[in-house]
Structure 1
Amino acid sequence: MSFKSDIEIAREANKKPIQEIGARLGMTSDDLLPYGHDKAKVSQAFINSVQGNKTGKLILVTAINPTPAGEGKTTTTVGLGDGLNAIGKKAAICIREASLGPCFGMKGGAAGGGYAQVVPMEEMNLHFTGDFHAITSAHNLLAAMIDNHIYWGNELEIDERRVVWRRVLDMNDRALRDVVTSLGGVANGFPRQTGFDITVASEVMAILCLATSLKDLQQRLGDIIVASRRDKSPIYARDIKADGAMTVLLKDAMQPNLVQTLENNPAFVHGGPFANIAHGCNSVIATTTALKTADYVVTEAGFGADLGAEKFMNIKCRKAGLAPDCVVLVATVRAMKMNGGVAKADLGTEDVAAVQEGCANLGRHIGNLKSFGVPVVVAINHFSGDSVAEVQAVIDYVETQGSEAILCTHWAEGSKGAIALATRVAEIADSGISQFAPLYEDDLSLFEKIECVAKRIYHADEVLADQSVRNQLKDWEAAGYGNLPVCMAKTQYSFTTDPNRRGAPTGHSVPVREVRLSAGAGFVVVICGEIMTMPGLPRVPSAETIMLNDLGQIEGLF
């Protein structure tokens, strides 16, 4: 049996004008700023007008640790949203925008798949409405203004050795991780060592996704710590007088983007911080707007539940006053087999024992999510090679964990394949049984917060950190930042900091290599193990097979 590729399916989509999609959520043409016929920005005036509306039910979609076998978290998010609409519920979905770096690296796109996609797929995976470009420009404007201030006399007495604001680029480019700038003589400024991060790791991205208004955005941008003086006192972006111009560059990017699924249901696509090196959730303003205009909102958090869901609960929900009514944990039979030790090339062979062995990873995530007080449903994203016995092995295992698993075929069948999941999720969300609470209180010390996540989510024995790291955390506490949550930067592939350790390992340690204060975003980034804030391209990047065909259509984005 031959299947159409995601891009072929997306190309055949019967899209409706974006004004029709907006009307489903109570938006008029005046409330939308169209970008072509099939995508639009939602106006701040409309967002302000719905704040008094009833708040809908919030459903979080997360997943097991990603494997090369694929899990289909975004596909399930879209399928569930379509499924809820198919059973007569007023539902919207909220997902992140795609980063160009991974699109041209390994991932090749992030808009769902099969018959559970968001369209226009090509534009979403490329330049879309320009939000990431605006974030890149605002971030780098600040970098330019810092160096310019130093060049013209350094009135603020910035210690050039203590400039912490790097530059960003929305591309995977390992050559830019560590660079020296301002070479070539006096006219080019003072040489110093710095580097680039990928745009989705920028604090500006995190700020955009956590800000609630343009006023809040400018306040947070001004709070960014960019450098320090010789006495270690901080220099803020507002000291450089960059916050106003940065806000101007981000004015349109702050407005959520509205698009549609293949089944013409509304989808907000806005923001996109990485989940392993940032907080991994779409924007607060998109999620809260969706909750005021739909009865059910399905959103996702990046990578596995140990990263994206943990940050969704401990950072986004804490900051925005949100509480999920139900959590859907996505798993696949293929991924269970890989966690059970089966090589990718052998995944097509039935192996119930390997499925059972690999379910330990799934069980760990179920237990972790329940520790937040939320009800958990497992969605088994179906692949054509899955045997009945393998699927049943996952269902039986999940039952032993005090949860339930539902087989979903939305990739092949769209909403029809997610009816059972949608029906059960709606029942749970409506029941009010969720007793959500973040994992730790604000008043714990920063190091205790790191230990809390490491021990309760990663199931580590200890956190390893040099005295310099511990002293830095204490200095920040003394400066008034002790109440901030922590944003753990760690490999997405394992509960440990070793990407090759699958399953549910115990008896491991979490080494903290570096900590960074994101004062504007309002969290402390904790870099664990060998995590990179500027990824590199793989040996054979997806970019090698992305091209235009003879009809001028894009090929290779999947």
Structure 2
Amino acid sequence: MQTDIEIAQAAEVWPIEKIAEKAGLTPAEWEPYGRDKAKISVDETAHKSELGKLVLVTSINPTPAGEGKSTVTVGLADALNGIGQQTMVALREPSLGPVMGLKGGATGGGYAQVVPMADINLHFTGDFHALTSAHNTLAAVIDNSIYQGNPLHIDPRRLLWKRALDVNDRALRHVTIGLGGPTSGVPREDGFDITVASELMAILTLSHDLMDMKARIERIVIGYTYDKEPVTVKDLGVAGALTTLLKDAIKPNLVQTLAQTPALIHGGPFANIAQGTNSIRATKTALQLADYVVTEAGFGADLGGEKFLDFKTPLLGKHPDVIVVVATVRALKMHGGLPKTALTEPDEQALATGLANLGQHLQSMTRYGVPVIVAVNRFVTDTPEEIAMVEAYARDFGVQAYVADVWAKGGAGATELASAVAEAAQVASDFKPLYEADDDAVVKIEKIVQTIYGGAGVELSDKAAKQLREFAKRGWDKLPVIMAKTQYSLSDDAKKLGAPKDFKIHVREFIPKLGAGFLVVMTGTVLTMPGLPSHPAAYDIDIDENGRITGLF
């Protein structure tokens, strides 16, 4: 059986000008980055006056068994094109952290991939490098300001802005900088976040244009003075320099699927520590060009799905017309208590127990008032009886389930799913956000915990409660909330699989991100700098004398 990269390397890849023409872009709206990639820039008033249909793909809570959300997203887009619907796909860019670590890339798999797969999963068009450079330029400016007499009276003990690196490096979570004598800066404690957790990544994906991005960067709170007053990038005077470093990164990237469906890939915030969606610009551009746009949100519906619906939707100015929840029999059996080593064996009892995880996501997604469909991502070990159990369970929620056999068959393996999505997209929906914009932060969090997670409530640490009191004085307490939570469980305990009940979410602190326009809610033990596993994927990746890559999935 061929690996993902072998399939991608053997594929016919069209010249990017042909994909740009197929997408409906004018020559002035794109610029080539080699033969098979391009940067695009489309005015928000250009092309269609009425936006296309938006399909959001999300999933159950991920497990080591794999769910294949990106694979289904790509396969569904190809399938919609296959049934005559002009379709584009809009995805996030992969981070090198999981590519070299455990999770893998984000280009789909098998015959449902975006290409050039290796380039996209590695350096692509340099967006992440630009973000990392901009982030660390700001960090350098902050420490230089302190060193050069500290004219802004920044309290080094109250700095919020860490450094960033697009690598899973646990050794950098907590560091001491400024050692080496008077000319090496002011010694203080610091740390690193992974680049996808940077507020600049969030801002890149939320900005409509360069000036919007610059204004957002100016609002970033980097820390506090000795008098506990916030210090912003505007105070430092470097918003222009940071925006300049990101002038190309703000442009979405155009590539293609194996079936030559145009694909926009742009931005890559993780959904367990950030907002988990691709950029506003990429999604909006695709909606201007295509009749259908298939996009995904990171991790499960409890994280990326909720954030897309409650945070991105108001900024995008359009809600999804259909929500697709991806599930696999293997993952559901794991949620039912079966170990990973036993997932290939039929076990209807474990599946019956694990289906409660799907049930919680169906309950939470259907409450938004948008048609919901289940996509069962098929594995060769699935039995007809097991698939029938998933279909019957979904029907109890008034939701239809369809098999997606896209890894092996590409779009041809999701024709029935595509037809159902196209039909559902024509149904008038009554979108209902989860919370009101003027709800305070605790109310917003409680609604997420009780409605989306199925939990009992929220517990704030003393630090978090004190922060909220201070935020209220500054008018920050009603900002949207972005939950930083383990992706593996509906709770904040990664070991509680399935659909736990009567749990509380433990909030240890808040991180204000005024440039992005939200509060990050740090829960449980979630970290903003992941670590590598005992056997990282980097051990398996190699390249030969001809530049041919192996081991990249």
What does 1:22-421 correspond to in 2, within 5 Å? 22-43=20-41, 46-48=42-44, 50=46, 53-421=49-417
Question: Which AA in structure 1 matches 2:345?
Answer: T
Q: Does 1:9 align with 2:7?
A: yes
Q: Which runs of 5+ in 1 are unaligned?
A: none
Q: Does 1:473 align with 2:471?
A: no
Distance in 2 of aligned mates of 1:158 and 1:500 = 40
Alpha-carbon spacing, 1:160–1:51, altered in 2? closer, same or farther (3 Å): farther
Matched residues, number:
553
Of 510, 517, 523, which residue of structure 1 is paired with 2:512?
517
What displacement does 1:48 show? 4.2
Distance in 2 of aligned mates of 1:122 and 1:188 = 40
TM-score scaled by length of structure 2? 0.98
Instruction: Determine the structure 2 residue equivalent to 1:494.
Output: 489
Post-superposition CA distance 1:393-416 (Å, at most 9, x none): 111111112111001111111111
Say whether the 8 Å CA contact 1:108–1:556 is kept in structure 2. Answer: no
Distance in 1 of aligned mates of 2:184 and 2:449 = 45
What displacement does 1:326 show? 0.4
What displacement does 1:168 show? 0.3
Distance in 1 of aligned mates of 2:341 and 2:408 = 23
Of 400, 421, 432, which residue of structure 2 is paired with 1:437?
432
Say whether the 8 Å CA contact 1:208–1:217 is kept in structure 2. Answer: yes
Matched residue of 1:378: which SS?
Answer: strand
What displacement does 1:52 show? 5.7
Post-superposition CA distance 1:432-456 (Å, at most 9, x none): 2x21122000111111111111121
Say whether the 8 Å CA contact 1:19–1:28 is kept in structure 2. Answer: no
Post-superposition CA distance 1:339-388 (Å, at most 9, x none): 11111111111112221221100011000001211211000000011111
Distance in 2 of aligned mates of 1:221 and 1:396 = 49
Distance in 2 of aligned mates of 1:481 and 1:548 = 50
Distance in 2 of aligned mates of 1:109 and 1:164 = 29
Matched residue of 1:464: which SS?
Answer: strand
Say whether the 8 Å CA contact 1:306–1:495 is kept in structure 2. Answer: yes
Question: Which AA in structure 2 matches 1:161?
Answer: R
Q: Which runs of 5+ in 2 are unaligned?
A: none
Distance in 2 of aligned mates of 1:49 and 1:399 = 41
What displacement does 1:337 show? 1.1
Which 10-residue stretch deviates more, 148-157 or 48-57?
A: 48-57
Distance in 1 of aligned mates of 2:473 and 2:321 = 37
Question: Which AA in structure 2 matches 1:223?
Answer: R
Question: Which AA in structure 2 matches 1:157?
Answer: H
Question: Which AA in structure 2 matches 1:438?
Answer: P
Say whether the 8 Å CA contact 2:461–2:506 is kept in structure 1. Answer: no
Matched residue of 1:161: which SS?
Answer: strand
Say whether the 8 Å CA contact 2:274–2:520 is kept in structure 1. Answer: yes
Of 498, 502, 515, which residue of structure 2 is paired with 1:503?
498
Instruction: Determine the structure 2 residue equivalent to 1:424.
Output: 420
Matched residue of 2:369: which SS?
Answer: coil
Say whether the 8 Å CA contact 1:446–1:477 is kept in structure 2. Answer: no
Matched residue of 1:162: which SS?
Answer: strand
Say whether the 8 Å CA contact 2:5–2:550 is kept in structure 1. Answer: yes
What displacement does 1:320 show? 2.3
Question: Which AA in structure 1 matches 2:515?
Answer: G
Matched residue of 2:254: which SS?
Answer: strand
What displacement does 1:51 show? 6.2
Question: Which AA in structure 2 matches 1:36?
Answer: G
Post-superposition CA distance 1:259-286 (Å, at most 9, x none): 0000001000000000000000000000
Say whether the 8 Å CA contact 2:23–2:289 is kept in structure 1. Answer: yes
Distance in 1 of aligned mates of 2:473 and 2:549 = 54
What displacement does 1:53 show? 2.6
Question: Which AA in structure 2 matches 1:115?
Answer: Y
Say whether the 8 Å CA contact 2:15–2:36 is kept in structure 1. Answer: yes
Question: Which AA in structure 2 matches 1:202?
Answer: S
Post-superposition CA distance 1:202-224 (Å, at most 9, x none): 00000000111101000000000
Distance in 2 of aligned mates of 1:548 and 1:257 = 25
Question: Which AA in structure 2 matches 1:342?
Answer: L
Question: Which AA in structure 1 matches 2:217?
Answer: L
Distance in 2 of aligned mates of 1:160 and 1:500 = 37
Question: Which AA in structure 1 matches 2:397?
Answer: Q
TM-score scaled by length of structure 1? 0.98
Distance in 1 of aligned mates of 2:400 and 2:202 = 34
Alpha-carbon spacing, 1:53–1:177, altered in 2? closer, same or farther (3 Å): same
What displacement does 1:550 show? 4.9
What displacement does 1:30 show? 2.9
Say whether the 8 Å CA contact 2:48–2:289 is kept in structure 1. Answer: no
Say whether the 8 Å CA contact 2:59–2:326 is kept in structure 1. Answer: yes
Say whether the 8 Å CA contact 1:178–1:195 is kept in structure 2. Answer: yes
Distance in 1 of aligned mates of 2:367 and 2:447 = 12
Distance in 2 of aligned mates of 1:28 and 1:402 = 43
Distance in 1 of aligned mates of 2:338 and 2:226 = 55
Instruction: Determine the structure 2 residue equivalent to 1:458.
Output: 453
Question: Which AA in structure 1 matches 2:347?
Answer: D
Q: Does 1:535 align with 2:530?
A: yes
